[in-house]
Chain A
Amino acid sequence: MKYTKGLAAFLAVVMITSSMAGCGSKKEEQTGAAPEKQEEQQQEVATGTGDAKELVIGINGDIDDFNPQTNQVLNFINTMLFNCFECLIHLDENMEYAMDLATEYEMVDETTYVFKLREGVKFHNGEDFTAEDVVYTFQYIQDEANAAWRITQYTTLESVTADNDYQVTFKLSVPNPAFLDSLAYTPILCKSADPATLSITPVGTGAFQFVSWTPNDNITLERFADYWDADKVSVDKMIIKPFADYSVAITNMEAGTLDLLSTLSVENAQVIESKNGLKVIQAKESNKVEEIEIGRHNEEALRDPNVIKAMMMAFNADLLNEQVYNGMGKVATSCFPSGVKYHKDVYDAPYDLEAAKELLSTTDYKDGFSFDMYILTGYAEEEKAAMIWQADLAQLGINMNIQKCEFSVWLDTYLNRSYDMIVNNYSMVGTDPSTYCSIILAQLSDYQTADLPRLNELVEAGSKETDDTKRAAIYEEIQTIIAESYPVFTYIEVPQLLGAMDRVEGVELNNMGHMFLKNVSLK
């Protein structure tokens, strides 16, 4: 009898909890549209049915910051930045400037740019887009209190002035040939939107407006009815779903509940290509490179240029491309990707283990040494690259300790420059190498390149020089210095890939991996 009572009590607790689960979960959506709309959207997310045309995109990890001026994570940049927000211009799939919120621009002189703005554009909160919003955006970026990461790209921006409602003038303190590349990557904020809530309620002018975010579940966006180019948009809803494992995501694509998979590795691309009804979308070229940054001043042996050169001669990039990247990569011949301006083939240490041994024997480290290589977990291709190199270095007597670390530890190690070597991947912004130089090389100046004053001078000079011939000479010399002293070793150019269901058409993917989805249609 008592047992029956106990069981009844237990069942009662379960029933109460279940009903509370139902009620509590109504609060699941974070912000945004009306509850009826949220309900309808959530049903559609989960069921994959409904009349609306839904585009479901898989990403590898949740997005938890929607402020486009503070979030640097690729998942956000590749999926939301150019679809929820818009820049004045953007770099299209041919890496040419295409007009977004600007209709035309003029370079008045080396330091002055005038942009005419598109009229009749509205923000997602119903406000009209005007020149004041452009001015506000750059004030926001330059205000240190906002911790906008693009602040370093606009150190030469002296002023932004609204000439009238639909024209702005940018005045630079010194010429900056990469200025347009930076603008093509800078989304415009709404002046009247509350900056305090920008991280969870983004307001842009893009084709898709933010509806809700359910942590680790989905980010829902819907077609913006007042979008200035609304006729081209045929998708009603865009749902971004995080996946902790891409094999699960691919299974979901097979089941027909996932349309697109962003930032795809070559390994996963091969799996997708082997499945019926799925396809791989590849950018025409790729600005994405895998590189190893070398802490030349942390491990004594790494200060010796001959040791470094011997190590590079033990790096079998061809084998890596063949075995790990299935021949889809391109073995790097410079620190700049081959599609970028002023690229020159400068690497002169082809794979030759015997020559490497001989060179190492002329140094103080002929008996070898040990060093730590830091790799971010979850990047199988980087790990395999390190393992291939590790095996060859072992033949030189050099012991590589691979340290796999999760992102926050990797980032700590990277920014504190406390590594011997660290693997990084990077998509060069735009077509001009000066952003790479200012983001990657200039930030190494206090660490790895302090003894390379010429390199630091050239980085500085390249960022200001506007004469094309002189710039070519500067960047050629930069590439040569890097190929000789190796503060950074770029080993492969990696293709920009997306997984997609056959029914998805019209995805625009540029060399940096940015997706433009307003022209997407679902068959």
Chain B
Amino acid sequence: MRISSIVKYCIKRLAMAVIVLFLVTVVVFTAIRLAPGDPVIAKIGPYGDQSQENYDRIAASLGLDKPIPTQYFIWIGDCLQGDFGVSLRNNADVGELIGQKIWVSLELIIVALLLAVCMAIPLGILSAIKKGSVIDQILTVFSSSALAMPGFCVGLLLIVIFSVRLGVLPPNGYISFAENPKQNIRLLVMPAITLGLFEMAVFTRFVRAETIGILNSNFIRTVKAKGLSKTKIYFKHALKNTLVTFITVIGSEFGTLLGGTIITEQLFGWSGLGWFIYQSVMNRDYPVVQAGVLFVAVSFVIINMVVDIIYTMIDPRIELN
């Protein structure tokens, strides 16, 4: 039953996703072109030939001389065939450029989120169980501080302590796990902590609030009356119910982080997708921005779908349709 309903659900969601993705591409395609700043002028530069003839020639060579709707349909047609175009800056293949950055970002996001989740679940539950106690207050101050401290400050602090003072971790750079696992982990530690600390604070507060609500509910009172041990109550009944909504939060944060780790990436030279898209926006490199945003949008759709499927695995009462 489950497999067939999951397949049906996926087909339905993918059909809806086509509309969402169409709208996203139209908005991004139009917005980046309406923003001030012209890639043709950027190509000419401050000291190049500023004649109209030169402008027209460069615009034609970049395919920017055609009306915007025509440009859109050419681009979307190419995308459907797997061709995301070339960078306006250097003719490099956009698909390849984005493809490189995706894995770099995914590694950082997954490790940071794992770190955050592993810390947030016990801390959030502990805080909820000990509601109002000194432990709860300490944990609340800790998570509030982590939320309030900008990632830039946390990151710089880590660099100063672990790279400048102690000299135990490299301050900047990226190397893939496959090439040098040890160095990959050493380079990953500080950016993952910087990103994970903030996420941990968000998650801890969420888990605490959600668990407090569940612990006050009728079914918990019932299982308590049945004489179940505290461990079973907290970790079987309460945690399971908390997880249903917690997974939505994780999914949503995952999608947001795909393009939203710019400051951490810049700080640690962990050159992922967020920084790359940001830089391409600054350069008005239309094909890169379009493909980057399209990827993030597709990821959002897939993540939401996966989250919904995980729901049903955790709580069979939830129907996919």
Residue of chain B at shortest CB distance from A47: B183
Q: Are B87 and A27 in contact (CB under 8 A)?
A: no
- A 78-107 contacts with B by CB, 8 A: none
Q: Are A254 and B43 in contact (CB under 8 A)?
A: no
Contacts of A23 in B (CB 8 A): 103, 178
Residue of chain B at shortest CB distance from A413: B36
| A167–chain B nearest beta-carbon distance, Å | 30
Checking B96, B110, B310 against A14 with a beta-carbon cut-off of 8 angstroms, the contacting residue is B110
- A 43-65 contacts with B by CB, 8 A: 43, 45-48, 61-62, 64-65
Q: Are B41 and A411 in contact (CB under 8 A)?
A: yes
In the complex, identify which listed stretch (A117-125, A210-218, A225-233) lies at the interface while the others stay far away: A210-218
A145 CA to B100 CA, complexed, in Å: 31
Given A23-B178, A26-B179, A46-B187, verify A152-B279 contact (CB < 8 Å). no
| Range, interface on chain A | 35 or more
Given A9-B310, A412-B41, verify A43-B266 contact (CB < 8 Å). no
| Range, interface on chain B | 35 or more
Given A43-B180, A43-B183, verify A408-B42 contact (CB < 8 Å). yes
Main secondary structure of the interface of A (DSSP, over half): helix
Asked whether any CB of chain A lies closer than 8 Å to the CB of B63, the reply is no
- B 105-149 contacts with A by CB, 8 A: 106-107, 110, 114
Checking B58, B61, B243, B279 against A62 with a beta-carbon cut-off of 8 angstroms, the contacting residue is B279
Q: Are B170 and A257 in contact (CB under 8 A)?
A: yes
One digit per residue, 1 when the CB lies within 8 angstroms of any chain A CB and 0 when it does not, for chain B 273-293 equals: 001100100111000000000
Residue of chain A at shortest CB distance from B163: A255
In the complex, identify which listed stretch (A240-248, A354-362, A474-482) lies at the interface while the others stay far away: A240-248
Checking B43, B164, B269, B284 against A217 with a beta-carbon cut-off of 8 angstroms, the contacting residue is B269
Q: Are B313 and A9 in contact (CB under 8 A)?
A: yes
Given A25-B178, A62-B279, A408-B284, verify A147-B271 contact (CB < 8 Å). no
Q: Are A196 and B313 in contact (CB under 8 A)?
A: no
One digit per residue, 1 when the CB lies within 8 angstroms of any chain B CB and 0 when it does not, for chain A 10-25 equals: 1001100111111111
A2 CA to B184 CA, complexed, in Å: 34
Contacts of A48 in B (CB 8 A): 170
A70 CA to B54 CA, complexed, in Å: 13
Asked whether any CB of chain A lies closer than 8 Å to the CB of B101, the reply is yes
A45 CA to B271 CA, complexed, in Å: 14
Q: Are B266 and A244 in contact (CB under 8 A)?
A: yes
Checking B54, B156, B314 against A251 with a beta-carbon cut-off of 8 angstroms, the contacting residue is B156
- B 19-47 contacts with A by CB, 8 A: 36-39, 41-47
Contacts of B45 in A (CB 8 A): 70, 72-73, 149, 411
One digit per residue, 1 when the CB lies within 8 angstroms of any chain B CB and 0 when it does not, for chain A 314-326 equals: 0000000000000
Q: Which residues of B contact A (CB under 8 A)?
A: 36-39, 41-50, 53-54, 57-58, 61, 87, 89-92, 96-97, 99-104, 106-107, 110, 114, 156, 159-160, 163-164, 167, 170-180, 183-184, 187, 240, 243, 265-267, 269, 271, 275-276, 279, 282-284, 306, 310, 313-314, 316
